[in-house]
Amino acid sequence: SMAARTSSDTGPTPIEENLGFEETLEGSDGDKVLETFDLAGIAKYIQQHGCKNVIVMAGAGISVSAGIPDFRTPGSGLYDNLQKYQLPSPTAVFDIEFFRENPSPFYMLARELFPGQYRPTVTHHFIKLLHDKGLLLRCFSQNIDSLETEAGLPHEKLVAAHGNFDSATCIATGEKVPIEEVKEAIMAGEEDENGKGWRRLKEKYGGLVKPDIVFFGEQLPQRFYDLSGMTPFYEDPDFAKCDLLIVMGTSLVVQPFASLIDRVPEKCPRLLINREAVGRVNPLLLQMGYETGLLYGSDFNRRDAAYLGDCDAGVIKFAELLGWKEELREMTLAAGGNFIDPPAEEEVKEIKTIKKLDGQTADAMRKVMREIVMG
């Protein structure tokens, strides 16, 4: 049987060559895309390569400092605060079937989150600044708070992967409903003394009206699939021409959003600014030739950088390295936002390294894989 052969006897089997076992993934220093795998390395890369197609991927972490409660933080998170509705599970608030039965919890949440009550953060202004400088191709956001456009980013530069409050639809008829009217009804609650409220809206339009936020079990907007490159044969997807990817404030666990990090060209640098070390490659899969995930802090890294700390602090340091700090400060303060200089000795998490598997482990893995593949 094939399993009896060891790769040292006869060289790699064809299947191993396909899995890339024989190549080391380290590459020589000549393959290094970045001089250093940190904010400074990325800033230098921008200055030397004049990036024009920067994509930002953003999640809830960029809006926490705006005072918007996130969903999962124990105690302050939105899910915990919905307990009083005795939801079957916290996420039921975004379940379309549950909404049809019991819309109250969602409308209460929508009232908390409706745009216009929060100010964009310095991170939102930084995304706008990338646009002003002619560097931004697109911002793909998981957030439903519309703070990107509130900071002045043009709508066509934003892909709201999970929808937002910019528009609304009657779920019974599919009819679009003017968002101002929806906002007024949601702010009024179920029924106020003037007979306004979401029940009246339901009567008027012949069904519940919901802002165009993607609920669980609903399709993401077509624009997300097109521009991300997930739509087969779509003419001109963004990720194929990305020349720098900046990932901020997202846990990179919600699919398909999280998988976008692997859609950029293989020499395209990727920067993570986040409190936690997320989206990292699985070293086992990596050594078997499956390179998915970010490579910062690994022996194989050639192009990825990470700043593990507060988003706003990371962005201010990054802007300083780019020579944009004063501009960013002025923009943020002019819009009534907060600009807090990060302390010199700011607490940044150390990046734990991902080591190469030792030869013996790698050999054992190959053997197992070969038996699986060859049966």
Whether residue 113 contacts residue 191, with contact meaning beta carbons closer than 8 Å, is answered with no
- Provide long-range contacts, Cβ within 8 A and 24+ apart, for 363-372: 363/6, 363/7, 365/284, 365/287, 365/288, 366/7, 366/16, 366/21, 366/288, 367/3, 367/6, 369/19, 369/288, 370/2, 370/3, 370/13, 370/15, 370/16, 371/3
User: If you search the block for the tokens 């066509």, which residue do you land on?
Assistant: 156
- Phi, psi for residue 138 in degrees, rounded to 5: -165, 150
Task: For residue 162, indicate whether it is catalytic.
Answer: yes
Distance between CA atoms of residues 260 and 164, nearest Å: 20
Structure tokens at 270: 């990727």
Whether residue 279 contacts residue 304, with contact meaning beta carbons closer than 8 Å, is answered with no
- Provide long-range contacts, Cβ within 8 A and 24+ apart, for 188-195: 189/107, 189/111, 190/104, 190/107
Catalytic residue from among 124, 125, 131, 162? 162
Distance between CA atoms of residues 279 and 253, nearest Å: 8
Active site residues: 162
